[in-house]
Amino acid sequence: MKRLIILLCIATALVSCGESNNNAKVQTADIAFTKEGELTLAKVSGEDIVTLDIEFAETDYEIQTGLMYRKSMKENQAMLFIFPYSRPQSFYMKNTYIPLDIIYLDENKKIVSFQENAEPLNEAGLPSEVPAMYVLEVNAGLAEKWLLEIGDTATFVKF
């Protein structure tokens, strides 16, 4: 009996000293952009500025997650958040690795305010200055490159 107890202790020690997976790296997949429509930004004069491939954020989950965890986005891609009604909006960059310009639009799809060059992973609030019903996220620097202004408009189609 004594031998059996000693053998069990040795076996337990050998198993517990085995290689641990506690330090194993977790594999994550890149979140692919899904083109769900197109959005065109236009100057107040009516002149088109740019047409973008867009992914929509409409459900609670999509709105809460947005572009979080993504590592990149092409210049011609964007995410459009659609809210059920116009109200003051505030976004933050928690778990967002891409620097962004956040463009707030009213119920008529007119630009009402911007938050340019939002810093990745920063959890500070980035509010709209007035109520907004739509929020467009594009790569940082594009609002300036496209010379966007308050009053410029957006139109979009869903596929």
Q: Is 10 helix (H, G, I), strand (E, B) or coil?
A: helix
Q: What is the pLDDT of residue 28?
A: 54
| Pairing of β 111-118 and β 153-158 | unpaired
Q: What is the pLDDT of residue 25?
A: 54
Per-residue pLDDT of the chain (159 residues; tens, 9 = 90+): 444 344 334 444 434 444 444 445 544 567 899 999 999 999 999 999 999 999 999 999 999 999 999 999 999 999 999 999 999 999 999 999 999 999 999 999 999 999 999 999 999 999 998 999 999 999 999 999 999 999 999 999 999
State how far the Cα of 109 lies from the Cα of 112, in Å rounded to an integer.
9
State how far the Cα of 81 lies from the Cα of 105, in Å rounded to an integer.
10
State how far the Cα of 115 lies from the Cα of 7, in Å rounded to an integer.
67
CA atoms within 13 A on the CB side of 91: 32
Q: What is the pLDDT of residue 14?
A: 39
Contact 119, 99 (CB under 8 A): yes
Give the tens place of pLDDT for each residue, 65-84.
Answer: 999 999 999 999 999 999 99
Q: All domains of the chain, ordered by start, with CATH?
A: 34-158 (2.60.120.1140)
Cα-only R_g, the chain: 24
pTM equals 0.81
- Cβ contacts of 41-46, under 8 Å, gap ≥ 24: 41/146, 41/148, 41/152, 41/153, 41/154, 42/152, 42/153, 42/154, 42/155, 43/149, 43/152, 44/149, 44/151, 44/152, 44/153
Q: What is the pLDDT of residue 16?
A: 42
Q: Residue 118, Cα to own-chain centre: how many angstroms?
A: 12
